[in-house]
Structure 1
Amino acid sequence: MTTTQTGSTTQTGSTTQTGSGTQASASPSAPGTPPRATTTLHIEHPVTDYATWHAAFDRFAAARSQAGVRAYTIRRPVDDDRYVSLDLEFDDREAAARFLRFLEEKIWAIPSNSPGLAGSPVTRILVTC
């Protein structure tokens, strides 16, 4: 299952949420308009229990919003229900790097803030080409 969010409206299946009431889209920009550059903080890690992990993830929605997360997508392998892949979308690299530091220092370093997390997350900051 894939969950994508950019605000507060939900659809089932591959879930898309947007704060502005419009669906997030991977479609190209309007003709003559350069594509909007995005920076993605990609995170992968094993979890002990997805429901526990997701409840903890949901508790930090305000922190994500304040850090400039425009959208996120959660993916799980079809053959491993104890593994999570997460993409957090930002406007720039600096915001993504700041949020990664926040995760490392305030979330992942404190077990009570990261229940369900198993092992060390693997992260990478990516840019749209």
Structure 2
Amino acid sequence: MPTLFVRHEVSDYATWRRVYDAFAPVQKANAVMAEAVYQAADNPNDVTVTHEFATLEAAQAFGKLEELRSAMRTGGVLGAPTVWLTNKAQNDPR
């Protein structure tokens, strides 16, 4: 299952969270199957978000949404986010 990770600093977590929560319908409409939000232990404005998808193509398309970029600006994301895609590792057959 492909997972999109996004890490960024925000100017104010509470403001960012309101915008993130309001973005849920867009996530659902664009194939997000599950999501989670994490804050760094030493900085609540250092946020990492994960979104799970059924396909790599869905994850890539979601990452390119203009609505996503707009929500990030509105939510107070500072600078460029660090973004990476993963696939869940298969069990070692040994």
**TM bucket, shorter chain:** 0.7 to 0.9
CA RMSD in angstroms comes to 1.6
Name the SS for the 1:107 alignment partner.
helix
**Corresponding residue for 2:28?**
65
Runs of 4+ in 1 over 6 A off after TM superposition: none
Gap runs ≥5 in structure 1: 1-37
Q: Is the 8 A contact 2:8 2:80 kept in 1?
A: yes
Q: Is the 8 A contact 2:2 2:86 kept in 1?
A: yes
How far apart are the structure 2 equivalents of 1:48 and 1:85?
14
Higher relative contact order (CA 8 A, sep 6+): 2
TM-score (norm 1): 0.64
Letter of the 1:121 partner, please give it. Answer: P
**Corresponding residue for 1:106?**
67
Q: Is the 8 A contact 1:50 1:82 kept in 2?
A: yes
Name the SS for the 1:68 alignment partner.
coil
Letter of the 1:91 partner, please give it. Answer: A
The number of residue pairs the alignment matches comes to 89
Gap runs ≥5 in structure 2: 90-94
**Corresponding residue for 2:75?**
115
Shift of 1:106: 2.9
Name the SS for the 2:3 alignment partner.
strand
Higher helix share: 2
Shift of 1:113: 5.2
How far apart are the structure 2 equivalents of 1:42 and 1:118?
17
Specify whether residues 71 and 112 from structure 1 end up closer, same or farther in structure 2 by C-alpha distance, changes over 3 A only: closer
Once the two structures are aligned, what percentage of the paired residues are identical?
29
Superposed CA offset, 1:48-79 (max 9, x none): 00010011111111110011111111111110
